C-alpha cells in the first residue's frame, strides 16, 4: 500500500472514525499515524496483559496494526474504530500466547514470568522535574506493575481492560466473549488479589517510609538555619 504524504485535513482530532478510516484506506500516512496516536496506549496495554511481556506486546501491536490496515475495507463503522482494533489486537495476542504455550509444551519447559516488564510505557501525566519525586513515582509504578503481572491471566486481562483502560463492563465482556457477570466477578477477585499482594509488599517497608536523611535532611537543615539567621533568632555562634 503506497503512503500518501499529505492528508486532507487541518485538525485530525476532529475527524470521526469513518473519515479517518477512509483516508487511511486511501493511503494517507497521516491518517495511519493519527489512528495509532489515538489507540496505541489501550491496545498496547491489552496486548501486554495477554502475553505478559513488554517486547512481545510491542510485536503483537505491530502485527495487529498491519492486519488492521490491510483490512480497512472490512471496517463497516458498525462499532467504534477503537473497538474494531481492540478485537484484532486481542485475537493476535491470544494467538501469540497459544503458540507460545504449544512451544513450551513441546520442549517441556517451565513457563517463567518475565521481569522488568513495563505496562505503563506511555506517559500518564506531566514530567516531574524533581529527581526524588520521579524516582519515588517510578518505584511505586514498578511495584504496581509487578503486582498486576502476578495476577492470573484471566483476571489480569479483565483488570487492565476495566480499571486501567476504563472500558465498560459490556465492552469488556463482548471482547472476551464472557458474560457481564463473569467480568464483574473476575474484576472483583483481581482487585482483592491486588490488595492482598500490595499489602504484603508494602507492609514490610513501612519503617522506611518518609526517610529523613541524605540530601533532603541537609537541605531542610540549611533552610531552617538560614531562616533563623534572617529573623535574628539565631546569632550564628554556639552558646
CB neighbourhood size of 165 (10 A): 18
| CA 46 and chain centroid, separation | 8
Domain extent at residue 24 = 10-122
Label residue 115 exposed, middle or buried (CB < 10 Å: 0-12, 13-18, 19+): exposed
Do 110 and 130 reside in the same domain of the chain?
A: no
Do 16 and 113 reside in the same domain of the chain?
A: yes
Q: Which of 96, 122, 148 is the last residue of a domain?
A: 122
Percent with pLDDT over 90 in the chain: 25
| pLDDT the model gives residue 123 | 40
What confidence tier does 103 reach under pLDDT thresholds 50, 70, 90?
A: low
In a domain, 177, yes or no: yes
Q: Which residues is 4 bridged to in the sheet?
A: 28
**Which of 37, 49, 26 is CA-nearest to residue 82?**
37
| pLDDT the model gives residue 126 | 47
Do 97 and 154 reside in the same domain of the chain?
A: no
Distance, CA of 202 to CA of 145 (rounded, Å): 14
Do 139 and 187 reside in the same domain of the chain?
A: yes
In a domain, 35, yes or no: yes
In a domain, 163, yes or no: yes
- Threshold 0.75, pTM exceeds: no
Distance, CA of 73 to CA of 95 (rounded, Å): 23
- Write the pLDDT tens digit of every residue in 15-34: 889 889 998 888 888 888 88
Distance, CA of 54 to CA of 141 (rounded, Å): 15
- Write the pLDDT tens digit of every residue in 61-90: 998 999 899 899 888 888 899 999 999 999
Q: Looking at residue 40, which CATH number applies to its domain? A: 1.10.1740.10
Q: What does the H/E/C string look like for the chain?
A: CCCECCCCCCCHHHCCHHHHHHHHHCCEHHHHHHHHHHHHHHHHHHHHHHHCCHHHHHHHHHHHHHHHHHCHHHCCCCCCHHHHHHHHHHHHHHHHHHHHHHHHHHHCCCCCCCCCCCCCCCCCCCCCCCHHHHHHHHHHHHHHHHHHHCCCHHHHHHHHHHHHCCCCHHHHHHHHCCCHHHHHHHHHHHHHHHHHHHHHHHHCCHHHCCCCCHHHHHHHHHHHHHHHHHCCCCCCCCC
Do the Cβ atoms of 57 and 51 come closer than 8 Å?
Answer: yes
Q: Looking at residue 198, which CATH number applies to its domain? A: 1.10.10.10
Q: How many domains does the chain have?
A: 2
In a domain, 235, yes or no: no
Do 115 and 135 reside in the same domain of the chain?
A: no
What confidence tier does 146 reach under pLDDT thresholds 50, 70, 90?
A: confident
Amino acid at each position: 500500500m503506497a503512503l500518501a504524504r499529505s492528508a486532507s485535513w487541518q485538525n485530525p482530532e476532529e475527524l470521526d472514525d469513518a473519515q479517518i478510516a477512509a483516508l487511511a484506506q486511501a493511503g494517507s500516512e497521516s491518517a495511519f499515524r493519527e489512528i495509532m496516536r489515538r489507540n496505541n496506549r489501550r491496545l498496547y496495554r491489552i496486548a501486554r496483559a495477554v502475553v505478559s511481556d513488554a517486547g512481545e506486546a510491542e510485536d503483537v501491536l505491530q502485527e495487529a496494526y498491519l492486519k488492521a490496515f490491510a483490512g480497512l475495507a472490512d471496517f463497516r463503522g458498525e462499532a467504534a474504530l477503537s473497538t474494531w482494533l481492540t478485537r484484532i489486537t486481542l485475537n493476535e495476542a491470544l494467538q501469540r500466547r497459544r503458540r507460545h504455550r504449544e512451544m513450551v509444551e513441546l520442549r517441556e519447559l517451565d513457563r517463567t514470568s518475565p521481569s522488568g516488564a513495563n505496562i505503563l510505557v506511555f506517559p500518564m501525566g506531566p514530567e516531574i522535574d524533581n529527581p526524588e519525586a520521579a524516582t519515588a513515582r517510578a518505584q511505586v509504578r514498578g511495584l504496581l506493575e509487578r503486582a498486576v503481572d502476578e495476577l492470573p491471566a484471566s483476571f489480569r486481562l479483565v483488570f487492565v481492560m476495566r480499571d486501567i483502560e476504563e472500558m465498560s463492563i459490556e465492552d469488556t465482556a463482548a471482547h472476551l466473549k464472557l458474560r457481564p457477570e463473569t467480568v464483574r466477578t473476575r474484576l472483583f477477585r483481581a482487585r482483592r488479589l491486588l490488595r492482598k499482594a500490595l499489602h504484603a509488599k508494602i507492609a514490610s517497608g513501612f519503617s522506611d517510609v518518609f526517610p529523613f536523611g541524605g540530601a533532603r535532611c541537609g537541605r531542610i537543615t540549611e533552610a531552617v538555619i538560614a531562616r533563623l539567621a534572617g529573623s535574628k533568632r539565631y546569632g550564628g555562634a554556639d552558646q
